[in-house]
Every structure is written in C-alpha cells, then in structure tokens.
Structure 1
C-alpha cells in the first residue's frame, strides 16, 4: 500500500505546478502584448520621416503598405488584461486554499479551491483550462477523499 504522506506530497506538487504554470502563462501574455504595442509605436515613429519625405515627393502609393505594417503589429493582443489578472489571482487563491486545507474546514477549503480553479479557467479560456486540468483534478479528488496531512 502506498504511503499517504507520499500521495499528499505528489498532490501538493501537482497542484502547485499546475497553478503556477497557469499564472505564468496568464501574466506573460499582457507583458508580451505590451512589448508589441511599444514596438508598434517605435516603428511608427521610425517610419514617419520616410512617409513625410515620400509625401513631399508626390508619391503616395507607399502609404497603404506602411500603414499596414505599423497598424498590424499588436492591434488585438491586449484584449482583457483585467480578466487575465483576475484569473491569475484565482489560481493563487486556489493554490493557497488547497495548501491550507486541514482539519474540520478542509472540505470547505478544498471546495473553494476547486471553485476558484474553475473560475480561473473560465476567465482564462480553454488554453488555461488545459494547464489547470491536472491541479483541478487533484483538488476534486481530494475533495471527494481528503488526504490526511500533518
């Protein structure tokens, strides 16, 4: 028979790794999209003198391709940063509740941890659900059959 303490450690590692990966993914997307927005503004400033010179020369056929280059960079990347932040906070809450679930209120805390993970997946989208799935599975299994931890 497998030792309960080892099962508890594996469960903790699985939940922490799953939720930590989801938080990392959720926090990197706004940072990267912010970088793309910054690059778009820099390229817009670099292209402006050439656009002005071409306009003075009477050549306007360059305007559409230059506008597509500048306008196409990072235009739809920063959709919902508040949702990503809320999902990351829910992942952290889920991990904290799972780690603190002991004693008489353990079932309620494990239920709260699973609910927070489900809400984080809903806010984060399908890709975040896939990252959260191992941790959520462990939380639900521990909710059904709690592991005694010291």
Structure 2
C-alpha cells in the first residue's frame, strides 16, 4: 500500500468516526424524544383520572411557579413550525403515540446505520494494523 493510499485510508477513518459520532448524537436525541413523549402520555392519562391537581410550571432558569390544573379535557400540542393545536385527551394521546412510532422507525434506521459504520470502522482499523505490520521491519 502506498503512502497516498494510507493517507486516504486515514482520512476515510476520520470521516467514519465523525459520522459514527453524529449517529450516536442522533440516537441520543431520538431516545430523549421517546422519553419525553412517553412522559407526556403518562401525564395526560393522570390528568384524565385526576382532573384537579397541583403542579409546578417551569418559567426558565430552573424557576417554577406552583399552580393548580383544572382540566377542561383539552391539551395544546405543538405540531411544528410554531403551530399549536388544541386536542382532547384521547386525540392528544393518539397523536403522541403516532409520533412515537415515527421516532422509533427513525431510531431503528439510525441504529442500523451506526452498526454499519462501526463495522466499517473495524475493517479500517484492521487494514491500518495490517499496513503497520507490513511496513515495520522484522524483529531479529
């Protein structure tokens, strides 16, 4: 293997490592979205069973205001692009469950890509090790 090929292999490895890192971050983001959506569904369900309850509302910088929730059976959901819609409890849960399914599909795709990248990284490391062994002088 020539020096140019070795340099190209090293550049490919660096790109693969960055790609793998990006996929790992994306995977973490999807997992956070899943946790948040699941928590939202559980909160909506608890509001349905206990219509009046006390809670803390975050107002920023770790500051909260105690408040009472007097449920009127409506939930406001941000659907993207700064648009929010009002839904009843059942519709809100259905919407969130549909979003969870979409995120799960994206997560599975990301995990598959991450596994592929990990395999290609291992192959590249093996090639580099092979190159290093072939270029090192034999021990006598």
How would you bin the TM-score normalised by the shorter chain?
A: 0.3 to 0.5
What TM-score comes out, normalization by structure 1 length? 0.45
Bigger RCO of structures 1 and 2 (CA < 8 A, at least 6 apart): 1
Higher fraction of helix: 1
Which structure's CA Rg is the greater one? 2
TM (norm. structure 2) is 0.47
